[in-house]
Structure 1
């Protein structure tokens, strides 16, 4: 969760932290932006001789990594992250010339690539000045407060290597103390505004433009539509398979048993009673399977109790203690409610099956036009959407509603799964 800085940033320690962040920005502007801009120019020039086809994708990975780092730190430092504007680019093996050529063409046709190049060019001076100025003022002021008077006291007018301060007599030497205090205060006060100004500069070039946002939105909708169609097709196949292998087979068996009983009703009453008993058992099992199937489509508890009651019932059914916190002003729309319920249910099932945890937590609330849920556990961690744990399927289910599923699960735990669904 992004921490928004407020009044707690007024202390000297926090202001020094902003100065240190400025130094980081200045260093990255020289070590990162200058070096990568040079490498980008070389890679573009190398396209003429063909080597750049293999070199440019590698360089752009580093460029986009640096730009994304600045976008992320903008969110961490100011509470206002910068969105990623890049179009999807297919990866290519280093030895695959055809795919590398296609990847280069995609990179060069992406406007965000050229905005990154312009950003690196301008960030070299802008990042250096805005990042280093606060720390320079603080260092210059500390020199006047702590160094200049004592060097004058010990070396006097022979202080030839002396000073960054214009010292002509002892009075000037001691006047450097209040001047240094003012400069330190100025450096501490301007650190945060200057870094915010640098963030605005980054946003100007690193944030997606209106056309880029629309293009990314279209690409996202195309992906989610395809995933939704595949997910619904798989769900229909599952329902058909469950009906064919379960309730339908039992109903066929029931019909055969009743038909046989009809033919034996006068010849073998004992066998008829046995067949009727089997028929009653088959009908009971078929009814149970149909109820399970309906519960998998839309659980009755969800229709009866709403999302609040249904989720609490899920938590009570687990074999471990679950801390539940639910704050919902009203029931969400039925499709959103159903999607949220199934995602929470599957996540809690994963906690039971795979996490090795002995305690879990569940929080469900509504804020900023979205339904949010967090499921956490104290298990072994290591949950990966690509690892076949079903998390990728949950992401596809939420993507149909323009929702997201974020997973934080470092090895050793804990695991925190955060769901967000647009919901008025």
Structure 2
């Protein structure tokens, strides 16, 4: 396998390492590091001297400010330069300023810890690292050239001594490529440790993602518990009440004063039972838990106020959280179609491929859907994002509107 960094290249057999470009890339990395460090040091020294001399004027304060922010430029160069010895892309930690203009940019940068971390790295580079880079390159170049070419300048030098010195110089130059490359690897590691992504930030983001997944799972478990309690408790009692009122209505003669109130109570109980069943279906549909996403989507299509075609090429069952998310996405999308699109027909297509569930809802309405107008699309996107999926919306003026959702459905 091709090494992606000089650190990996150093583990190769000597013949492969010496035939590769990594030793020479290390040489270029250290050489440019020394030159860059000396140049930055000279610029910083000039800015500090200018700031001291003109400290009573605004120009002096600007020089001090430029010196403080110089680390931003140096860090940007270093993040690119580190790719000479390591195929890694270090991201820029700076965020876009909240306010436009130079003042907003200055306030944003001066308040970021990354700015001061980059300044510290700049001071370390100009005071120590660049000198070490230059010293190692100079020792390697001087030692090799002195041993290879030195005997040629010694008068009356025997030919055997000349050849021996030249050969020894070449061998020493090859051997010294190892410590030089090792220092280049260490130098790149220092750069990545200081200027790379913060490990604590990555860990915090990972924990946030995991906690969000746990909240989604806990929420889904709670939805199922509520659905069971409503189905097995309140719905059964309301059904029993409706049956008792029906029997009472049959027993009462039509001329009885209680006949009309009992009949009205019976109708109200039936309406409450129908509303409760609709509520249970909205909390967590029983057909989804019992028969899976395919059957649940067909039931949603049957209950929709407009014709809906369903095409679903799905396995028998998917993970419960994925099925629930996809189901409610379709329910919300079809509700938006009925309320806002003016469509006469809709289509739902669901399929799985490469460990992902793809759901697409299309209508022939007027288009122009905008999540910012509170049409429910933003909530739909939040639900999908919590499940680790993505949402794409296409809704040009005049239609059609297409909602494309992808959800990871691996085990």
Q: Could you tell me the TM-score, scaled by structure 2's length?
A: 0.45
Q: Could you tell me the TM-score, scaled by structure 1's length?
A: 0.43
**Which structure would you say has the larger Rg?**
2
